[in-house]
Amino acid sequence: MRELSKRASTLGTENAFVVLGEVAGLVAEGREITSFCIGQPDFPTPDNICMAGIRAIADGHHGYTPSPGIQPLREAVANYFSRTRGVSITADDVVCGSGGKPFIGYTILSTTDYGAGHEVIYPNPGFPIYQSQIVANGAVPVPIHLRESNGFVFDLDDLERKLNANTRLLILCSPQNPTGSVISRADLEGIAKLLENYPDVWVYSDEVYSGLVYDGAFESIAAVDGMLERTVIADTASKTFAMTGWRIGYAANRALSPAFTRWVTNTDSCPAHPNQWAVVEALNGSQAAPEKMRDVFAKRRDHIVDGLNQLDGMSCQKPGGAFYVWPNVTETCRMTGIANSEELRKRLLHEAGVAVLADIHFGTKVEGDGEHIRFSYASSLEDIDSGLQKIADFIRKNRK
């Protein structure tokens, strides 16, 4: 029988979509599932953005566009990055694509060579596509651990130990998926200081949750002195503007934008034409709707953190951004006789009707940090209360 390539057969995935499929199957069987597994705003795309997309279709914007995107969108992204990051970005620096994920791969492809031993440092736990794309594109994955004792922000001494002559790319994510942690300005400056000794290292700054920071202002490493030229600023319309299905992302770096443009030409040709016009409106139009969404998410964050900390055996830090919490469930597993977070996840789904993700869906376990699960609080307060009550009942029923 014909075989798949090793690259295809070992390609990683994003388990949120795998669990979502499990949830859909149970719902089809008539089960009532409270789902916290998918990182998707539960708000509709704001009306002004939808109308801009409809107008684009009515106006005949149906054909190919230049690979990096239409000029009005590239200008809108440049202005948006400039005013929200405190940096100077031009339209020529910007490339638009079909969501944010392609730019992870484009950056790895543009800064490392296959099989050359080039290393990419990335956060663990972290967005699983980082490691998947590093391996698939022939670079060497080097995880840097996010420990609970350090607020799920990596230690600068650890980063210093991992940097070497083979390092070509450092991936940052702030606010972070899955922990919701936010890298402080002081730590960003510390990272920049370490990189002064490694001029060949690029930075991929994954800022897709930049519009969802609850305590203070968003900070980008691109705004630190000397970092703009070597940093890829990556963002999407998905989270901030509740546009996950519109599939428009954007990245900015003056030196890499020509390479990104060629990668887009080689893969998607261009982003969806009418959707680009919708994002022009998202970036240039009223920000009232995304600001309201952020305020609602902040209330939900406080609510779910308080609720989780009242459950037997769970402890949960309050994250600074995104819409995820990452509670420690080590004691919950012990008191119920459950081996680990993945077994707990499965039993919560099938016995309690609550869908979450386990820490192993976001990388390797961090030694000494115990067991964790991820909740997305892109859910109503009523669903949060319902889910927490189901978990409380499960713990009470199964307590040894």
Q: Are the CB atoms for 373 and 358 separated by under 8 Å? A: yes
Residue type, 362: F
Please state, in angstroms and rounded to a whole number, the distance separating the CA atoms of residues 400 and 385. 25
In the chain, CATH 3.90.1150.10 sits at 6-44+289-398
117: left (phi over 0), alpha (psi -120 to 50) or beta: left
- Enter the pTM of the model: 0.95
* Tokens at 146, concatenated: 């996010």
Residue by residue, what is the 3-state secondary structure of the chain? CCCCCHHHHCCCCCHHHHHHHHHHHHHHCCCCCEECCCCCCCCCCCHHHHHHHHHHHHCCCCCCCCCCCCHHHHHHHHHHHHHHHCCCCCHHHEEEECCCHHHHHHHHHHHCCCCCCCEEEEEECCCCHHHHHHHHCCCEEEEEECCHHHCCCCCHHHHHHHCCCCEEEEEEECCCCCCCCCCCHHHHHHHHHHHCCCCCCEEEEECCCCCCECCCCCCCHHHCCCCHHHEEEEEECCCCCCCHHHCCEEEECCCCHHHHHHHHHHHCCCCCHHHHHHHHHHHHCCCHHHHHHHHHHHHHHHHHHHHHHCCCCCECCCCCECCEECCECHHHHHHHCCCCHHHHHHHHHHHHCEECEEHHHHCCCCCCCCCEEEEECCCCHHHHHHHHHHHHHHHHHHCC
Q: Are the CB atoms for 270 and 134 separated by under 8 Å? A: no
Task: Supply the pLDDT for residue 305.
Answer: 98
Please state, in angstroms and rounded to a whole number, the distance separating the CA atoms of residues 52 and 282. 9
In the chain, CATH 3.40.640.10 sits at 59-284
Task: Supply the pLDDT for residue 10.
Answer: 85
The reply to whether CATH 3.30.450.40 applies to domain 6-44+289-398 is no
Q: Are the CB atoms for 231 and 70 separated by under 8 Å? A: no
Q: Are the CB atoms for 340 and 102 separated by under 8 Å? A: no
Q: Are the CB atoms for 132 and 12 separated by under 8 Å? A: yes
CA distances 139 to 11, 24, 107, 142, Å, are: 14, 35, 12, 10
Please state, in angstroms and rounded to a whole number, the distance separating the CA atoms of residues 348 and 56. 44
User: Could you give phi then psi for residue 289, rounded to 5 degrees?
Assistant: -65, -50
Task: Supply the pLDDT for residue 227.
Answer: 98
The highest-level CATH class for domain 59-284 is alpha beta
Angle at 320 between CA 356 and CA 154, to 5 degrees: 85
Closest CA to 166 of 191, 141, 184: 141
Task: Supply the pLDDT for residue 6.
Answer: 87
Task: Supply the pLDDT for residue 400.
Answer: 85
Q: Find the farthest-apart pair of alpha carbons in the chain and give their distance in angstroms, rounded.
A: 65
Q: Are the CB atoms for 315 and 327 separated by under 8 Å? A: yes
Q: Are the CB atoms for 329 and 344 separated by under 8 Å? A: yes
Please state, in angstroms and rounded to a whole number, the distance separating the CA atoms of residues 204 and 173. 8
- Find all residues with CB under 8 Å of 346, minimum gap 6, and list them: none
In tens digits, the chain (400 residues) has pLDDT values of 788 998 888 888 877 777 878 878 888 899 998 999 888 899 999 999 999 999 999 999 999 999 999 999 999 999 999 999 999 999 999 999 999 999 999 999 999 999 999 999 999 999 999 999 999 999 999 999 999 999 999 999 999 999 999 999 999 999 999 999 999 999 999 999 999 999 999 999 999 999 999 998 999 999 999 999 999 999 999 999 999 999 999 999 999 999 999 999 999 999 999 999 999 999 999 999 999 999 999 999 999 999 999 999 999 999 999 999 999 999 999 999 999 999 999 999 999 999 999 999 999 999 999 999 999 999 999 999 999 999 999 999 999 8
